[in-house]
Amino acid sequence: MPSRRTFLAAIGAAACTPAVSGITWAQLPAALPLQNLGLEHLDIIVPDPAASARFYARIFKTTLHQQPLRDTIRYFVLLGDLPADRQVGYIAIGAAAGRTPSIGHYCTLAKVYDRAGMGSALEAAGFAGIRGAGGLGMWPDPDGLELQLFQPPAGLVTAAVKSSLPVDGDGLVSPIGVDHVLLKVSDVERSLSYYRLVYGAQAEAPRRAGDARVWFNLERGTRIGLQKERRDAAHRPLRDQGREIRSGRGDDTLTGTRREGNAVHRRTGCTAFRRRQRHRRRTADGGIVGRPFQGRHGGAESPAPTSQL
C-alpha cells in the first residue's frame, strides 16, 4: 500500500500536468509578427530578361543561371557562390509580358511560416489575405506590394542551371546578398500598421526628426525601408538616363538601376546589395563607380551622387 508521501506526490504530479500543458501551448509562436530570417531574393519583371541579365552581369561577379518558363527564359543573378544546398540570395529576372516593369516581389525567410495563421491575423486587422495558391502565393501590403515567404530550406530553385547567355566582362564587384529594399508607398503611416504587424514593432528603427524613411531591421543585417512615393519632376531625369550606377553613403552597398524598371520605377524604389569588396572605377564623364562608403548612420541615407555607365 502506498505511503501518504507517495500518494501526495502522485496527486501533485497529476495536478501539475494540465498546467505544464497550458504553458507549452502558450509558448507556441504566433503567426505574426514573423520570426524572420532576413531578406533572401528579389523578383523583377522586364520587357527583355536577357538584356537585364547581361546588365547585372556587368555589375556583379556572378554566375548567371536560367530556367525555362513557359515560352520564355527566367534568369537568376546569384548574390554569392552557389553552395551544395543552394541556399543563396539572388535576383530573379522574368518577362513582363505586357505588365509595367517593376520589382515584382521581394522574399523574406521565416523560421516558421504559418500560412493559415498569418492569413487570419491579417484579415482580422483589416488587411488583404494571400494572392495565389501553393508556395508561390504572395502577401500584398496596403499598396499591393507583394511579399513572398519561405521557410528554410529555400534558396535557388533546383530547375535553374548555369546560363548559356553570352556576357561581356566579368563584373565589377562580388555580391554577398541582398542588403535592403526600399518600398515606395502612397501613405507611410497607413503602411506602418501593416509592417508593424508583419515584422513586429520592435523591428522598427528609431527615427530622427525630418527622416523621410522608416526602416525595419530584419535578421542577417537586412532591412526594409518605407518612403512616400513621389511623382514629381525631380525624378524624371533619373528615369531618362537609361542605365546608371548609384552609390549611397550610409551603406556598404551598390545599387544598379535600369530604364526597364526595377530600382526607380513604381513604388518599389531601389534595392541595394551587399558586396564583398570595394571597387573604384572612373567613368568617361568623371564619375566614380563603386566609391567607398561610410558606415551606417541612424537608418536614413544621404542623397547619393550618380554616374552614368
Q: What is the pLDDT of residue 242?
A: 42
**Once rounded to an integer, what is the mean pLDDT over residues 264-290?**
45
pLDDT digits (tens, 9 = 90+) for 69-83: 989 999 999 999 999
pLDDT digits (tens, 9 = 90+) for 143-194: 999 999 999 999 999 999 999 999 988 899 999 999 999 999 999 999 999 9
Q: What is the pLDDT of residue 228?
A: 95
User: What are the respective helix, strand and coil percentages of the chain, to the nearest 5?
Assistant: 25, 30, 45
Q: What is the pLDDT of residue 256?
A: 38
Q: How confident is the model at residue 286 (pLDDT cuts 50, 70, 90)?
A: very low
Q: What is d(CA 38, CA 63) in angstroms, rounded to the nearest whole number?
A: 23
Q: What is the pLDDT of residue 28?
A: 53
- Please measure the distance between the N-terminal and C-terminal CA atoms of the chain and give it in whole angstroms: 90
Which three cell numbers, joined as nine digits, stand for 41? 531574393
Do residues 221 and 210 touch, judged by C-beta distance below 8 A? no
pLDDT digits (tens, 9 = 90+) for 41-77: 999 999 999 999 999 999 999 999 999 998 999 999 9
Do residues 181 and 108 touch, judged by C-beta distance below 8 A? no
- Check residue 300 and report its DSSP letter: B
φ/ψ region of 177 (left if φ > 0, alpha if ψ in -120 to 50, else beta) reads left
What domains can you pick out in the chain, each with its CATH number?
Answer: 36-156 (3.10.180.10), 175-298 (3.10.180)
Q: How confident is the model at residue 135 (pLDDT cuts 50, 70, 90)?
A: low
> Three-state SS for 35?
coil
Q: Is a pLDDT exceeding 80 seen at residue 255? A: no
Q: How confident is the model at residue 11 (pLDDT cuts 50, 70, 90)?
A: very low
pTM of the model: 0.71
- CA 155, 161, 165, 170 dihedral sign is positive
Q: What is the pLDDT of residue 285?
A: 41
Strands (E) across 70-150 are located at: 72-78, 90-95, 102-110, 139-140, 146-150
Q: What is the pLDDT of residue 259?
A: 35
- The upper half-sphere exposure of residue 123, i.e. CA atoms within 13 Å in the direction of its Cβ, equals 9
Which three cell numbers, joined as nine digits, stand for 210? 525630418
Strands 306-308 and 244-247: antiparallel
Q: What is the pLDDT of residue 129?
A: 93
| DSSP H stretches of helix in 67-215 | 115-124, 188-199
Which three cell numbers, joined as nine digits, stand for 92? 530573379
Give me the percent of the chain exceeding a pLDDT of 70: 64
Q: What is the pLDDT of residue 137?
A: 86
**Once rounded to an integer, what is the mean pLDDT over residues 224-240?**
66
Q: What is the largest CA-CA distance in the chain?
A: 97
Q: Give the residue with greater pLDDT, 127 vs 135.
A: 127
On average, the pLDDT of the chain sits at: 76
Q: Is a pLDDT exceeding 50 seen at residue 240? A: no
Which three cell numbers, joined as nine digits, stand for 59? 555589375
Q: Is a pLDDT exceeding 60 seen at residue 291? A: no
Q: What is the pLDDT of residue 202?
A: 97
